[in-house]
Amino acid sequence: MIPTNKREGDVVPDIPFSLFHLQGGLIIHQRAQINQRVWKLNTSHGPFITKVYTSIMPVKQQWYFFRAQSIPEIVPFISFPTYRESLYDADGYIWVLMPFVEGNRLHFSNSVHRHAAEQSLQFFHEKAKKIDVPDLIQRPTLLLKWKRRVLDFELTERYFIQEGKREMYQEIIQYAKEKLIKLQEVVNPFMSADNISWNHGDVASHNFMITRHNDIKLIDFDLLHRGPVVHDQLQLGHRFIAGGSSADEISKMLLFQPVYRSEWFYHGLSFPAWIIREWNHFLLKEPTSEERAKRIRLLEYQWHIHQSFVANYKHVLT
């Protein structure tokens, strides 16, 4: 059965033990939930990671990619012992399997980890560029995604007014809109075929793992898509700013060398995407007024960090 009626926000059931046994050939001895959709399994065939999906399209997209790739620095899907690529349960959920890699996530507050992530993403882009498989999922453009986030942020003005921070709110909104206009006016020089590859799409620190042998593994390819690699570069740059990276440090990283002095990239990295994204995501958790007040104080500090970075970025470019 191919599920068509599930959504990513739906409640996800527990692991169907009998399905894994009968159709996947795995007897599960123990399970440990990592997040809502991911578990570590100890099985009759050793340790694995399993993930559940509510839509077939991201599963198909990743399987097309993983079948064609030979990149040792990533953690792909693997087939079940019965050679099935996916299992479909009675409720329409889709289960996939991945090898268990012992290690820890990177932390972008650590400069050594930032450089490791930068090198890992650069290797991924270079090797993924040669992979010719269909791009099945139409995703919104980067600018459209950012515009939507600004619109969502704009609806939260009342929370800033309650904390006496309306001026900061207006400053962020005005600045973000100005940067979006600049990004539309300035020609993006990174749209040529030479700059197109597969983007990971979610280069957060928790999607980079460091193994006990100090190898870096890139995980979680749910947002995999083909497009200008500058999109991954911008996202990683924003994550580095949040982690405390300086403009000088980013300017010296090989991943950013081809783009750093571009006016378009300057406006993209100056856009406060990480601040707006984290605030919007925080509000989805329906926080209390006390939690919102505390978060606004953190946001004020983040805004100061971002402004300082942009000022230093200008200095580095001159």
Query: Could you give all domains of the chain from N- to C-terminal order, each with its CATH number?
Result: 17-100 (3.30.200.20), 111-317 (3.90.1200.10)
Strand, helix or coil for residue 311? helix
141, exposed or middle or buried, with CB in 10 Å at 0-12, 13-18, 19+? Answer: exposed
The pLDDT, as a whole number, for residue 157 is 98
pTM, whole model, 2 decimals? 0.93
What is the C-alpha separation between 286 and 280, in angstroms, rounded? 11
What Rg value do the Cα atoms of the chain yield, rounded?
Answer: 21
**Most distant CA atoms of the chain, gap in Å:** 65
Q: Are 38 and 51 in contact (CB under 8 A)?
A: yes
Average pLDDT over residues 298-304: 98
Fill in the amino acid letter for 218.
Answer: L
The pLDDT, as a whole number, for residue 14 is 87
62 falls in which pLDDT band (50, 70, 90)? very high
Q: Are 16 and 91 in contact (CB under 8 A)?
A: no
Average pLDDT over residues 186-195: 93
Kindly report the average pLDDT of the chain as a whole number: 94
- Token representation of residue 60: 């198909």
Q: Are 231 and 142 in contact (CB under 8 A)?
A: yes
Average pLDDT over residues 106-113: 98
Question: 199-234 pLDDT, tens per residue?
Answer: 999 999 999 999 999 999 999 999 999 999 999 999
What is the C-alpha separation between 222 and 308, in angstroms, rounded? 33
Least confident of 2-11, 25-34, 45-54, 98-107: 2-11
The pLDDT, as a whole number, for residue 11 is 61
Number of residues written out for the chain: 318
The pLDDT, as a whole number, for residue 317 is 87
Only one residue has tokens 């990592």, namely 34
Distance between alpha carbon 46 and the CA centroid of its chain, in Å?
A: 29
Question: 133-154 pLDDT, tens per residue?
Answer: 999 998 999 999 999 999 999 9
Average pLDDT over residues 82-104: 97
The pLDDT, as a whole number, for residue 225 is 96
Contacts of range 86-91, beta carbons closer than 8 Å, 24 or more positions apart:
86/59, 87/16, 87/19, 87/20, 87/23, 87/24, 88/1, 88/2, 88/3, 89/13, 89/16, 89/19, 90/16, 91/13
